[in-house]
Amino acid sequence: MTANIIVIVATLLVTLLLFSKPVEKSSWWSATVIPLASIIGSGFLVIAPILQMSVGRFAVLAIIVLVSVAYAIGAAIRFNIRWVEPKLAAGTLHASAWAFERFSGWALAFAYIVSVTYYLTLFGDFMLRGVDMTDQTLSRSITTAVLIFIAFYGKHRGFNFLDKFEALKLGIIAGLLAGLAWGNWTAWQEGIWRLPVQEHIPGWHEMRIVLGMLIVVQGFETSRYLSEKFPPSLRIRSMRYAQWISGIVYVVYIALMLYYFNYPLPSSGQDTAIVTLSAHVATILPIMLVSLALIAQFDAAIADAQGGSGLLEELSKKRISQGTGYIIIAVGGLLIVWTSNVFEIITYASQAFAIYYTLQSMVAAMTAFNHKDIPNRWVKFVGFSLVASIALAVAIFGIPAEG
């Protein structure tokens, strides 16, 4: 009973705080909440069980690796906001950087297709988990229905009716963290707290699985595409804030989950196992997490479908209309969803974004190499080349969890 109260109070306090007028009217929060909500989205709910299956008690180290890689890539994106965008607008960007920038646009368009599929696959899985079911065919059918809806509604009507639910999503996550903290404290007081049993030391295979989960901490790049709303300095600062906040939340979350890794995972539906595990924290959490998952998945899928269709229109110089873009995304999603399981889709999404990040890092490296007005440009060239190599390694070596 106490755990339920703590979860509900924490959820309400954070939600009301984020809905308050001072926060809503704050320019830095308005610019921060978009990448923050993208980073702490649907992947937040699947990362814990996947890490438990892959690396067990080393999960905290694994999430620190993911967050660190993401922050290094974020530095390249922030550099591009500061230096590449003005040169693009002035037409002075070096040809090599311009070529990588162009390729990265097409890579991002493909990444959007995979990410929409990723979100909606989890949508189907969590919807079934809400009625205590796990059925891959039925989940794929739900995903198919939503993809078809997106294709035809997007083409004929457009999505102008959706509001963001960032405050509610972050409020529920705050409630989960508060419940986990209380559960850990109670177990410690009762003398039953312990780390989970580790059957073997994670090796290269497990590290490849961790690399395949980059999609979970992806989303910070959205700051790059908010130039119509916010100036460059604010986008750079807010992206940094979003990565700091999300990094702390992810590390704390996984650390608090270690004790609960002692409970067995369900024999099926491991991607939604957090719902089952959360019942050990507070009886109200499974309902809240299913609600969070459905909101987060659908909202994120629509947002990426909008972004992807708009990007396809821009890259094709309007030969592909935004309405046709929705259909292309849906068709691509259908091909992926009926040929892959959820763990493979997570890895495909990570690899697609890793390719985009590789190209963006190369844009930064080539810009630093070719433009003498950039301070410490040789250091930046070497640093961003290294970041590009890391992102490329994610694309090449990342593999699905064995669920």
pLDDT tens track for 88-141? 989 999 999 999 999 998 898 888 888 888 888 888 888 887 777 778 889 899
Count of residues in the chain: 403
CATH of the domain at 36: 1.20.1740.10
Contacts of 133-139 spanning 24+ positions with Cβ under 8 A: 134/266, 134/268, 134/269, 134/272, 136/341
Radius of gyration of the chain (CA): 21
In a domain, 80, yes or no: yes
The dihedral region occupied by 189, where left means phi > 0, alpha psi between -120 and 50, and beta the remainder, is alpha
> What pLDDT shows up at residue 157?
59
Cα separation, 288 vs 290, whole angstroms: 6
In a domain, 402, yes or no: no
In a domain, 403, yes or no: no
In a domain, 193, yes or no: no
Cα separation, 206 vs 51, whole angstroms: 9
Cα separation, 372 vs 136, whole angstroms: 55
Cα separation, 126 vs 193, whole angstroms: 29
Cα separation, 232 vs 386, whole angstroms: 25
In a domain, 164, yes or no: yes
Sole residue written with tokens 């190499």: 369
Contact present, 281 and 260 (Cβ < 8 Å): yes
For the whole model, what pTM was predicted? 0.87
> What pLDDT shows up at residue 159?
53
In a domain, 46, yes or no: yes
Query: pLDDT 10s digit of each residue in the chain, 403 long?
Result: 788 999 999 999 998 888 888 877 788 888 888 788 778 866 788 888 889 888 988 999 999 999 999 999 999 999 999 999 999 989 999 999 999 999 998 898 888 888 888 888 888 888 887 777 778 889 899 989 988 888 877 666 555 544 456 778 888 899 999 999 999 999 999 999 998 888 778 889 888 888 888 888 888 888 887 777 789 999 999 999 999 999 999 999 999 999 998 888 776 656 677 888 888 899 999 888 888 888 777 777 877 787 788 778 878 888 888 788 888 989 999 999 999 888 888 888 888 899 999 999 999 999 999 999 999 999 999 999 999 999 999 999 988 776 5
Contact present, 126 and 297 (Cβ < 8 Å): yes
The residues, any chain, with a CB within 8 Å of residue 34's CB and separated by 6 or more, are 166, 222, 223, 226
| Total structural domains within the chain | 1
Q: Measure Cα distances from 62 to 45, 58, 207, 254 in Å.
A: 16, 6, 8, 10
Residue among 381, 393, 121 at smallest CA distance from 269: 121
The dihedral region occupied by 198, where left means phi > 0, alpha psi between -120 and 50, and beta the remainder, is beta
> What pLDDT shows up at residue 162?
44
Q: Which domain holds residue 8?
A: 2-188+198-397
The residues, any chain, with a CB within 8 Å of residue 323's CB and separated by 6 or more, are 154, 155, 156, 158, 309
> What pLDDT shows up at residue 130?
74
Residue among 208, 204, 203, 118 at smallest CA distance from 398: 208
Within 10 angstroms of residue 301's Cβ, the number of other Cβ atoms is: 26
